[in-house]
Amino acid sequence: MRRDLSEKSVGRRSFLKVAGATAGGLIVGGVAGYLLNPGEKVWTTVTETTTKTVTGTATVSPTAVPWEQYFPRADRIMKDWELKWTGWDPTEYITTTDWVRSIDWGKVKSKYAGQTVTMACEGVDISAPQTFQPGFQGISGASLQLFGIPPETLHEKLMAEFTAGTGRYDTAELFGAWAQAYFPYMIDIRPFAQTYGVDLKDIHPAFRMMNTGPNGELLGVVEDADLHSFICRKNLLDKAGLKIPTTWDEVLEACEVLKPIGAKEGWYPWITYYSAKGFLTFWYWGTIAVQFRDVTYTRLDSWEPNFVGDEEGGVRALEIHKKLLEYSPPGSINNTYELGREQWLAGLGAMATSHQCWPRQSYDPELSKISPLNTDNIIEIRPYPKGTTNHAPENITTTYLGIPKTSKQQELAFLWSVYMNSQESSALMGCHGTGVESGFVSVISNPKVWKGQPAYKNIWETAWTAATETFVYIPEAYAIEEAAGAEIYRYLDGSEPSAKKALQNAEAEVRKILDKAGYLKTGIKPPPWTVEDWCKEHNEVNPKP
Amino acid sequence: MSKITLKNITHIYDKRVKAVDNLSMEVDDGKLVALLGPSGCGKTTLMRIIAGLIYPTSGDVYFDEDRFTDIEPERRNVAMVFQFPVVYATMSVYENLAFPLRAKKLGEEEIKRKVKEMAEFLELTPYLEMKAGKQNAAIKQMTSLGRAIIRDARCVLLDEPLTNIDPHSRLILREKILRYRAEKKQTIVYVTHDQSEALTLGDKIAVMNNGILLQYDTSRNVYERPASSFVAYFIGNPGMNLIECAFKKVGSKIVFESDGIKVSLPYELAKEVEKETSGKVVLGIRPEHIELSKRKVEEGMLGTCVLFEDIGITKVLNLQLNGTKVRAKNPEFEVEVGEKLYIRFPEERLRIFNSKGEIIL
Amino acid sequence: MRKLNPGLLMSIPTLLFLFFWFFFPFLYNIYASMHYWTLYNPNIQFIGAENFIDVLSSIDFRNSAFASFFYTIICFAVELPLGLGIAVLLSREFKGVGIARVIIAIPILMIPIGTSIMWKLLTMPKLGLLQYFSEVLGFGVIDFYGNFWLASLLILLIDAWQWTPFFAIVLLAALVSLPREPYEAAKVDGASPFMVFTKITLPSIQPVMVIVSILRVLDLLKLADPIFVVTKGGSGTETLSAYIWRVAFKPLDIGYGGAVAVLYWILMFVLANILVRRFKSVIQ
Ligand SMILES: Nc1ncnc2c1ncn2[C@@H]1O[C@H](COP(=O)(O)OP(=O)(O)O)[C@@H](O)[C@H]1O
Ligand SMILES: [Mg+2]
């Protein structure tokens, strides 16, 4: 059975079209739209175990096993237009390696048939696990229960469940930025990986570093691996006689040229991915600030926050951030991810920086007004604009599927997490435009996959230079980002006229939190914050193209 | 202070209930008219039409010579006291009394003086600062009266002001109304279903039934020459005896006969009845006008006392004359139940009505 | 030995319930507020009044207190008169008044966050219907999300759209249950419609008005949903509730959150007491 992953997004887009038409429809739609997304959903277990049986031409199956019908495969996930667009043979696997195809599921089934495993999912991404639920239930004989939790409360909810030790969830989606807060409550998945021949080293170090503990223990399998790129509508730049910018100075110059043209044609030079007060401000500024290598979130030897930068690169980044807001639609200072995405896909901007989702969704003719498939738009994906350095360090966010120590189904939970997040399934999710992106080296480096998710090419080429998007990986990361973001925001909204002062205030706030939490006394070194440093510390090879 | 003129007023509620039926009357400037009639006959409706709270289905209201039918109540300058005491519950008694004056935009000093005067007059001074809503019905009605008479309205409409308060307060309130009237010479329509009240207060009495104005005259005339058998029966306590009789001319007399009743009148006096083709009329005599005797009297009819009520100032006898029942009233007469009496209807006291109830004689 | 008062005995379950539902969390909150305590750090340290000092010296706390009062005042100042006006209109008898009374109740039935989202969709630059009209009429794109005054206007619109009917319906119920007689008396007494309204109608519904107003004001002080949707707390629109959520609830800082909550509680308690005391006589 094929499930439409972008159902919700499509619903929202067509809803927007309605918004232009009638206010009455809006009111009804507003209610309906909300009702579609209630607090917590529980899906009843699907007992029928068949996925789509392949019809037509003979099934070509590399490993002829009885449970092949449950393997993730393009024709079982993708939409028709997507299959046509990629030009793949829909009955062939697009990945070279996939651990789902090598696990002995017969043995698994005899052990776990009839048992139940539960999962806590972030509300908006519920379609991802749902897609793989029937397949997993078929291949393991177990049943899977999904609990959707609204994203804005997921973190608190999980922490409350974990600290209370309820054992309610056997596996949970964990946001990498806050991974350190979860560590005490999660198992190390490496032993299970060993047992089932799951190659965890295939996870790119850029997406592994946040979820690795001090002793190398791994929190979970990567489910969503996000990295920023620069995207633009080349056709608009061409028309204005502009080359695709590669530095921030060029970006701002291009904005200045595009501004009057956009004003006439009803679009803006820039779309702000997110900037709203708090951690989003910190992240957006951070993605720019890391292009100026002198900025270190903490001085690596002393925990001393350094947002201003030795050469004041942080100040420069904050000024760029504020300038970009002026080239964005009004109100972008408070943009959240959702609003920025609406604006980009509605064709309100010429350039933006974003994770992989925007580029890929730009192509979707049902989702996007700028799809190259049915308009004359040309979507270009490039490395992040440079600051003062030659390398453009990227900025990472990840989601992991972790297994709490309190789970009574740890092994089954592990099997579900690797089934749902295998190379093939993650590649398909990325190419399906769900916004859930693959973090495996074997996937993002695979040119065949690039046909379905063009952003991966750029990700593969730049991931090795990446730095963390968040503050260093300590449990207080969120509090720190929130506090620092609020201070930085004051420069953006004008209540603090000096960018430098705003950053210094942010440093002071962070110092206070670190002091309270005791870091300044312990003398332990902060963890590394670039992929290069991390690989050195863990004796790993940093995969480069 | 104005003359009130009502011209052919008809009011029909909900297209079904005819509450006032083609009613015309005039209330002269400075007079008190008592509007009398049984419950539900349309008195309140008529008052509300005069006040402007109801727009009549047809007909017109005039004050002096000006037509006011289309004028809003707030611009009529008519004062009204309602049957059920109405006060502005959230205001003090003082503010209640001041309300119509404030509506007239009088100065604060003048208001204060007038309210004080009125409170004094109505003995409301101790209550002035209290919430009107918290007072008993009597104080409320007194307040309501004060509100009506504190300003110089065109006329004052009092819709059964005493009906819903206790008997003691009723006396005080009535006294206040009388004193006010004596001092002010205001045009007043006083609605009541209490006839003694009507007869004692009114310069003129208007008797209504079923929305129709039956008689509008001085109290003496209403009592002595009721315009109809209804009025005859309605006024008086007990009302006039009404006896249906056949009549025939016997020599120079006309003889009226019913079961146990036989009365004759000189032909010259009663010849009007001959126009009555049905051969039947209604004979009327007030109980207090019936002559009683224990000894045989000339032309006396024999009856038996079946009920004797001593109501203090007077006594009421229920008499059976064969098939006819008659009530008599006499302050002195003592009689045992079952005793036989001789009864006489004095000629000059007899009233004769036709079969429609209209007075003939 | 003194015998135990049976009345007291009977109320023990209630008192216990109150204790666990109200006093216990409250005392716990006070305890938390005096400690460095986060959900992810097992070490809880006593730090005395430090959290309180931090909260009170925070610019954001002071700004959000201001914003809370600001929105409470403007929303209340718009919703009460508007609601009263609607109630007065709907208290008259005219054709279709029944349907009008039902329609006016619809916004209350909507989920608050849904209302906010609906308005956000209406005001999205270049995409929302309101923005479309604004451009057609030559006002250009309006910065409803990034400008304090315009964002406040939108927040006011959202709150008023949802909660004006609350005033309207409660006041309407009060109006239609008023006795008719004083109105007739007032007409006869020569009062103008304005005088009737101010001297009779308003005083008569004043107790109801005071009660809904107190409820609404206390509710407005907790305003958060439209803030999250419109600005995420940016551009000076962050209210106390939004602030608590951002700095305490979200980072799982029980101690700091406890301190803010205690201050917030004191504020609400004082305010509620002032209001109730001030209007006690009216309510009774
Ligand atoms: N608002 C009304 N709607 C319909 N019928 C009414 C209304 N008011 C009074 N009536 C009817 O009109 C008639 C006269 O009523 P009313 O004027 O109150 O009489 P009264 O004051 O003499 O007792 C009665 O039959 C009464 O039932
Ligand atoms: Mg009446």
pLDDT in tens, C207-238: 999 999 989 998 999 999 999 999 999 999 99
Indicate whether B310 and B191 sit together in one domain. no
C177, C180, C189, C194, best to mutate vs chain B, most B CBs in 10 Å = C189
**To 5 degrees, how large is the angle CA B61–CA B67–CA B73?**
65
Helix (H, G, I), strand (E, B) or coil at B91: coil
Helix (H, G, I), strand (E, B) or coil at A259: helix
For residue C184, give the ligand nearest its CA.
1
Indicate whether A381 and A501 sit together in one domain. yes
Indicate whether A220 and A313 sit together in one domain. no
By the CB < 8 Å criterion, does C108 face chain A? no
For residue B37, give the ligand nearest its CA.
1
B209 lines ligand 1 (CB under 6 A): no
CA distance A158 to A149: 9
- pLDDT above 90 (res A143): yes
Tokens of A346: 């509605």
Closest CA to A16 of A435, A352, A367: A367
Indicate whether A76 and A174 sit together in one domain. yes
ipTM of the complex: 0.86
User: C143: phi > 0 → left, psi -120 to 50 → alpha, else beta; which?
Assistant: beta
Q: What is the pLDDT of residue A32?
A: 33
Lowest mean pLDDT: which of A225-229, A346-350, A444-448?
Answer: A225-229
Tally of domains within chain B? 2
**Can you say whether the dihedral through the CA atoms of C69, C74, C75, C77 is positive or negative?**
positive
Q: What is the pLDDT of residue B18?
A: 93
In a domain, A8, yes or no: no
Q: With bands split at pLDDT 50, 70 and 90, how would you rate the model's confidence at B139?
A: very high
CATH number, domain containing residue B213: 3.40.50.300
Shortest Cα–Cα distance, A339 to chain C (Å): 9
- pLDDT above 50 (res C279): yes
- pLDDT above 60 (res A29): no
In a domain, C35, yes or no: no
Asked if residue C41 lies in contact with residue A475, where contact means CB atoms within 8 angstroms, the answer is yes
User: Which residues fall within 8 angstroms of residue A98, CB to CB, at 6 or more apart?
Assistant: A71, A72, A422, A423, A424, A425
Which residue has the least CA distance to atom 24 on ligand 1?
Answer: B40
Please tell me chain C's helix, strand, coil percentages from 3-state DSSP, rounded to the nearest 5.
Answer: 75, 0, 25
Concatenated DSSP letters of A431-482: HTTSS----BHHHHT-HHHHTT-THHHHHHHHGGG-EESSSSSSTTHHHHHH
Q: What is the pLDDT of residue A22?
A: 30
CA distance B190 to B174: 11
Classify strands B32-36 and B204-209 as parallel, antiparallel or unpaired. Answer: parallel
In a domain, B255, yes or no: yes
In a domain, C209, yes or no: yes
Lowest mean pLDDT: which of B119-123, C42-46, C98-102?
Answer: C42-46
Contact criterion met (CB < 8 Å) for B144 and C187 = no
CA distance A486 to C12: 48
In a domain, A9, yes or no: no
CA distance C142 to C136: 12
More confident residue, A151 or B267: B267
In a domain, A124, yes or no: yes
- pLDDT above 50 (res A409): yes
Nearest CB among C188, C200, C206 relative to B79 is that of C188
Indicate whether B65 and B14 sit together in one domain. yes
CA distance B167 to B138: 10
User: How many percent of chain B have pLDDT more than 90?
Assistant: 60
In a domain, C28, yes or no: no
The DSSP call for residue B262 is E
Concatenated DSSP letters of A105-148: HHHHHHHHTT-EEEEEEEGGGTHHHHHHHHHHHHHHS-EEEEEE
| Mean pLDDT confidence for B253-265 | 88
In a domain, B341, yes or no: yes
Shortest Cα–Cα distance, C124 to chain A (Å): 9
Q: What is the pLDDT of residue A6?
A: 31
Contacts B–C by Cβ distance under 8 A: 65
Which residues 48-107 on chain C approach chain A with CB closer than 8 angstroms? 60
Contact criterion met (CB < 8 Å) for A333 and C124 = no
CA distance C225 to A194: 47
Identify which of B21, B23, B45, B191 to mutate to test ligand 1's pocket (most ligand atoms within 8 A of the CB). B45
- Position in ligand 1 atom list of the atom nearest CA B83: 21
| Mean pLDDT confidence for A232-256 | 96
In a domain, C210, yes or no: yes
Domain that holds residue C111: 47-283
CATH number, domain containing residue B264: 2.40.50.140
Closest CA to A42 of A130, A132, A151, A142: A130
B14 lines ligand 1 (CB under 6 A): yes
- pLDDT above 50 (res A2): no
For residue B41, give the ligand nearest its CA.
1
| Mean pLDDT confidence for A190-202 | 94
Amino acid, res. B135? Q
Closest CA to A218 of A228, A205, A231: A205
Q: With bands split at pLDDT 50, 70 and 90, how would you rate the model's confidence at A392?
A: low
Q: Phi and psi (nearest 5°) for C254?
A: -65, -40
By the CB < 8 Å criterion, does C235 face chain A? yes
Q: Which residues of C touch A280 (CB under 8 A)?
A: 232
Contact criterion met (CB < 8 Å) for C188 and B74 = yes
Tally of domains within chain A? 2
Lowest mean pLDDT: which of A262-276, C24-38, C135-149?
Answer: C24-38
Please give the residue of chain C at the shortest CA–CA distance from B152: C189
Q: How far is the CA of B361 from the CAs of B23, B222, B281, in angstroms? A: 25, 14, 11
Lowest mean pLDDT: which of A402-416, B269-283, C9-23, C102-116?
Answer: C9-23
Contact criterion met (CB < 8 Å) for A278 and C246 = yes
Indicate whether B217 and B258 sit together in one domain. no
Q: What is the pLDDT of residue A528?
A: 79
For residue B17, give the ligand nearest its CA.
1
Please give the residue of chain A at the shortest CA–CA distance from C117: A30
- pLDDT above 80 (res A302): no
Helix (H, G, I), strand (E, B) or coil at A15: helix
Which residue has the least CA distance to atom 16 on ligand 1?
Answer: B42
Q: Which residues of B touch C186 (CB under 8 A)?
A: 88, 99
- Please name the chains neighbouring A, where neighbouring means 3+ C-beta pairs under 8 angstroms: C
C80-124 pLDDT, tens per residue? Answer: 999 999 999 999 888 888 899 999 888 988 888 889 999 999 999
B43 lines ligand 1 (CB under 6 A): yes
In a domain, C92, yes or no: yes
Asked if residue C254 lies in contact with residue C43, where contact means CB atoms within 8 angstroms, the answer is no
Domain that holds residue B129: 4-224
Q: Phi and psi (nearest 5°) for A347?
A: 80, 30
Interface of C with B (CB under 8 A): 181-182, 184-192, 195, 199-200, 203-204, 206
Indicate whether B185 and B328 sit together in one domain. no
Tokens of B14: 């909900």
Q: What is the pLDDT of residue B150?
A: 94
Indicate whether B209 and B85 sit together in one domain. yes
Contact criterion met (CB < 8 Å) for A278 and C233 = yes
Helix (H, G, I), strand (E, B) or coil at C68: helix
Tokens of A427: 């590649």
Tally of domains within chain C? 1
CA distance B208 to B224: 17
By the CB < 8 Å criterion, does C238 face chain A? yes
Q: With bands split at pLDDT 50, 70 and 90, how would you rate the model's confidence at B274?
A: confident
By the CB < 8 Å criterion, does C36 face chain A? yes
The DSSP call for residue B217 is E
Which residue has the least CA distance to atom 1 on ligand 1?
Answer: B13
Shortest Cα–Cα distance, C186 to chain A (Å): 43
- pLDDT above 60 (res A47): no
For chain B, state the CA radius of gyration: 25
Q: What is the pLDDT of residue A545?
A: 86
Indicate whether A453 and A363 sit together in one domain. no
Average pLDDT score, chain B: 91
- Position in ligand 1 atom list of the atom nearest CA B45: 17
By the CB < 8 Å criterion, does C219 face chain A? no
Terminal-residue alpha carbon distance, chain C: 41
Classify strands A116-122 and A296-298 as parallel, antiparallel or unpaired. Answer: unpaired
Helix (H, G, I), strand (E, B) or coil at A371: coil
Nearest CB among B51, B86, B103 relative to C191 is that of B103
Domain stops at, among B193, B224, B255: B224
More confident residue, B314 or A448: A448
In a domain, C151, yes or no: yes
| Mean pLDDT confidence for A140-165 | 87
In a domain, C34, yes or no: no
Lowest mean pLDDT: which of A76-80, A423-427, C64-68, C128-132?
Answer: A76-80
User: Which residues fall within 8 angstroms of residue A350, CB to CB, at 6 or more apart?
Assistant: A232, A233, A236, A237, A258, A262, A267, A268, A269, A270
* Cα dihedral A294→A299→A304→A305 (10° resolution): 40
Q: What is the pLDDT of residue C281?
A: 77
Q: Is the peptide bond before A365 cis (omega within 30 degrees of 0)?
A: no
Tokens of B351: 């009233």
In a domain, C214, yes or no: yes
Indicate whether A316 and A433 sit together in one domain. no
Identify which of B10, B13, B84 to mutate to test ligand 1's pocket (most ligand atoms within 8 A of the CB). B13
B316-340 pLDDT, tens per residue? Answer: 999 998 888 999 998 888 888 888 8
In a domain, B14, yes or no: yes
Domain that holds residue A494: 229-395+469-533
Domain stops at, among A429, A446, A465: A465
Query: Separation of B40 CA from ligand 1 center, angstroms?
Result: 6
Q: With bands split at pLDDT 50, 70 and 90, how would you rate the model's confidence at A522?
A: low
Domain stops at, among A465, A493, A509: A465
What residues sit around ligand 2, an ion, with C-beta below 5 angstroms? B 44
Indicate whether A213 and A254 sit together in one domain. no
Question: If residue C124 lies in a helix (H) or strand (E), which one and from where to where?
Answer: none
Domain stops at, among A417, A438, A465: A465
Tokens of A55: 């019809």
Q: Which residues of B touch C203 (CB under 8 A)?
A: 90-91
Q: Which residues of C touch B80 (CB under 8 A)?
A: 185, 188
Indicate whether B219 and B327 sit together in one domain. no
| Mean pLDDT confidence for B276-300 | 88
3-state secondary structure B264-321: EEEHHHHHHHHHCCCCEEEEEECHHHCEEECCCCCCCEEEEEEEEEECCCCEEEEEEE
Q: With bands split at pLDDT 50, 70 and 90, how would you rate the model's confidence at B159?
A: very high
Closest CA to C51 of C30, C36, C31, C29: C36
Indicate whether B212 and B305 sit together in one domain. no
Q: What is the pLDDT of residue C29?
A: 86
Classify strands A229-233 and A349-354 as parallel, antiparallel or unpaired. Answer: antiparallel
CATH number, domain containing residue A296: 3.40.190.10
Q: Kindly tell me whether chain C and chain B come into contact, counting contact as 3+ Cβ pairs under 8 Å.
A: yes
Average pLDDT score, chain A: 83
Shortest Cα–Cα distance, C275 to chain B (Å): 21
B30 lines ligand 1 (CB under 6 A): no
In a domain, A413, yes or no: yes
Please give the residue of chain B at the shortest CA–CA distance from C195: B103
Q: What is the pLDDT of residue A28?
A: 33
CA distance A340 to A328: 10
Contact criterion met (CB < 8 Å) for B89 and C189 = no
CATH number, domain containing residue C120: 1.10.3720.10
Q: With bands split at pLDDT 50, 70 and 90, how would you rate the model's confidence at A267?
A: very high
For residue B42, give the ligand nearest its CA.
1
Query: Separation of B83 CA from ligand 1 center, angstroms?
Result: 13
Q: Kindly tell me whether chain C and chain A come into contact, counting contact as 3+ Cβ pairs under 8 Å.
A: yes
B45, B81, B86, best to mutate vs chain C, most C CBs in 10 Å = B86
Q: With bands split at pLDDT 50, 70 and 90, how would you rate the model's confidence at A24?
A: very low
Q: Name the pTM for this structure.
A: 0.80
Nearest CB among B86, B90, B151 relative to C185 is that of B86
CA distance C218 to A318: 39
Amino acid, res. B359? I
- pLDDT above 80 (res A68): yes
User: Which residues fall within 8 angstroms of residue B131, CB to CB, at 6 or more apart?
Assistant: B89, B90, B91, B92
